[in-house]
Structure 1
Amino acid sequence: MSNTSENKGYTIPFVSLTTLFFMWGFLTCMNDVLIPHLKELFQLSYLQSMLVQFAFFGAYFIGSLLYFVISYFKGDPINKIGYKNGMLLGLIVASVGCFLFFPAARYSVYGLFLSALFIMGLGFTLLQIAANPYVSLLGKPEGASSRLNLAQAFNSLGTTIAPIIGGYLIFEFFAVNGEITAAATEVPYIIFTGIFLLLAFLLWRIKLPDFRSEESAERGLGALQFPQLKLGILAIFFYVGGEVCIGSFIINFLALPEIMGLPEAVSKNYLALYWGGAMIGRFLGSISLNQELPGGRKALLMVVTAIAVFLLIFFIVDLNFAQISTFLIFIGINLLGFFIGKAAPARTLSIFALISAGLVLFTIFSTGSTSMWTILGIGLFNSIMWSNIFTLSIHGLGKYTSQGSSLLVMAILGGALLPLVQGALADSFGIQHSFFVPVLCYLYIAFFGFYCSAKLGNVKAEQVSGGH
């Protein structure tokens, strides 16, 4: 009886937190819509336009590094001020970043846009550090994996609909005679400012359970004695970098005459497919890695879930069935990959990374719709990479687990640096050939999966999730 009432008591806090996951997923994916807009507005090179991702994801690294240093010398700040206050601070900082889009757009200063993105990224860093562990504490320990997967699914929902809503506002609603006005970024981000402040007010008013840890953080860098963590830091770096590289270039890539020649207002829908694929894969991953479901029932549930989430995405995007049906082929390949992986995180990671590398190579050496669909299909295989890499990296770390986790979060720096590398290559050799950057990323991830499969064996599938 007490367990039931306890779970009911956690419902409102959990719903509040899933809203946070949704919003930071939404705003993160808005960067992919901003890039082509700002590139055209300021007449930027591809390298210069990738400073959007450099500023945003660079904030994750700077924020995590500062947090790590403070934790080392002064103790864990979130543990001192409480998870609730940590999330409130993150929301307020993110709202300041959103508000700075107003003067950036009004005075048309690219540096102000980058500053706004950096501050918003710092706010999201605080939300990541506070919200992810808090979700795992809201209820029974054995249900932590399920709660984190559900919260991450809402993060993926945000990344899926952001290109549709954000793209409509920027490329269509605020366009006058085909020209995008300053209001295209002023008004949406003022609305986002209000939403973050409203969420902060509601979170402040909601009574949340107070969790504190009595453990002190380990001094030194003892976590780095574990080879799987050192290799995992690089794997997270390349995963985030590769995923962000692809998402950042999709709209400009689909505009190429030799690919599809699509206008931004149409290609935003295909960008939603790329991020929607990650949502499908995460739902399938949560089922595949469930050790309690019998094989036949698990397979049926995965197929039904894949179809259901595909239909959800179909109703979200502004495309007819003929325009989206090819995506079903890649969903089928994704299901096959899960079945071959047999619920082993390391093996599944290797399979998905090799498939992703192959799809990017098809994208580079083909044209037209083939090149478009192979790049969009990669979202399905990105889906479980974050959680599987994270899980394998911290496996067996014991008292160094928290330290290892913070080092992995710092590796999100890949999302800041690798798009710059691809931008420079795009300026020199064209967008299509610049996709060799994510090819190298996925090949390293495949190596990491093979290494963990050999050294760690079939680690029990404990999903450690959280949008990046």
Structure 2
Amino acid sequence: IKDIAPYISLYWASMMIGRWTGAVEAFTDNISLQKVLRFVAPYLAFGVFLLVNAIADHDLAPFYVYAAIIVVLIVADMSSKGSPARMLLIFSGVGIAALLVGMFTTGMTSVYAFTSVGLFCSTLWPCIFTLAVSGLGKNTSQGSSYLIMMIMGGGIISWLQGYVSEFTGIQYSYIVGILCFAYLAFYALKASSILKSQGINFDEKISGGH
């Protein structure tokens, strides 16, 4: 258990790393400072992970290479330019790539590929929520309530992957995750198209704001 624990903590740390990266705009309106924080915040969060595991007396040597994977998160975040639809599409695409690498490689490459999915799941829910409730007007409160009540993927997808793993083995059962990411990518494109037809264009708002 002691040998596995730091890898489990790295997955959850990846979620924290992604969220800290996605939250930099909440700290300042200064564009130049935001660019700096996009590099500082994720590595600060990664530093917290290293510190906690150092205190727990875990070997940190295998985890330093993960710093390079965080660069992919930073590039993906900057490429999204603050647009929820673009972020959902890009992060879903990178999530699919990470799962494919994990499925078709072995050893630590596979481990880090699967673990890095946490980086790209981290900010998807705010994107989904924003796209889902935009344009609802007076029905926003009711729509958001329905959306919250429909959060049940963890109870279904986990079971489905477990069922698939009985036939494919655990490594290839991540095809379920790929299908989930693929749907999110489709949702990003579809929701963006629908919102644009209603006169809501996040890309224009963001570029106009900058």
Residue 271 in 1 paired to residue 15 in 2?
no
Q: How many residues align?
A: 197
Query: Deviation of residue 386 (structure 1)?
Result: 0.6
With structure 1 as the length reference, what TM-score do the two structures score? Answer: 0.40
Q: 1:306 aligns with which of 42, 47, 51?
A: 42
1:326–1:373 contact (8 Å) kept in structure 2:
no
Listed as ranges, the gaps of 5+ residues in structure 2 are 196-200
**What is the aligned-residue RMSD (CA, Å)?**
1.8
Q: One-letter code of the match for 2:202?
A: N
Query: Deviation of residue 349 (structure 1)?
Result: 1.2
With structure 2 as the length reference, what TM-score do the two structures score? Answer: 0.87
Q: 1:369 aligns with which of 99, 108, 114?
A: 108
Q: CA offsets, 1:144-193, max 9 Å, x none? A: xxxxxxxxxxxxxxxxxxxxxxxxxxxxxxxxxxxxxxxxxxxxxxxxxx
2:24–2:41 contact (8 Å) kept in structure 1:
no
2:28–2:34 contact (8 Å) kept in structure 1:
no
CA–CA distance in 2 between the matches of 1:289 and 1:440?
A: 32
Match of 1:293 in 2: 30
CA–CA distance in 2 between the matches of 1:289 and 1:360?
A: 30
Listed as ranges, the gaps of 5+ residues in structure 1 are 1-263, 462-468
CA–CA distance in 1 between the matches of 2:122 and 2:61?
A: 25
Q: CA offsets, 1:179-218, max 9 Å, x none? A: xxxxxxxxxxxxxxxxxxxxxxxxxxxxxxxxxxxxxxxx
Alignment of 1:57-136 (within 5 A): none
Match of 2:52 in 1: 316
1:288–1:338 contact (8 Å) kept in structure 2:
no
Query: Deviation of residue 292 (structure 1)?
Result: 2.3
CA–CA distance in 1 between the matches of 2:153 and 2:129?
A: 15
Query: How much identity, in percent, do the aligned residues show?
Result: 34
CA–CA distance in 2 between the matches of 1:448 and 1:353?
A: 10
Q: One-letter code of the match for 2:20?
A: F
Q: CA offsets, 1:26-52, max 9 Å, x none? A: xxxxxxxxxxxxxxxxxxxxxxxxxxx
CA–CA distance in 2 between the matches of 1:375 and 1:366?
A: 10
Aligned partner of residue 265 in structure 1, secondary structure: coil
Distance 1:400 1:386, change over 3 A: same
1:289–1:344 contact (8 Å) kept in structure 2:
no
Query: Deviation of residue 271 (structure 1)?
Result: 1.0
2:17–2:43 contact (8 Å) kept in structure 1:
no
Match of 2:128 in 1: 389
Query: Deviation of residue 268 (structure 1)?
Result: 2.0
Alignment of 1:2-41 (within 5 A): none
Aligned partner of residue 412 in structure 1, secondary structure: coil
Q: One-letter code of the match for 1:307?
A: Y
Q: 2:74 aligns with which of 329, 332, 335?
A: 335
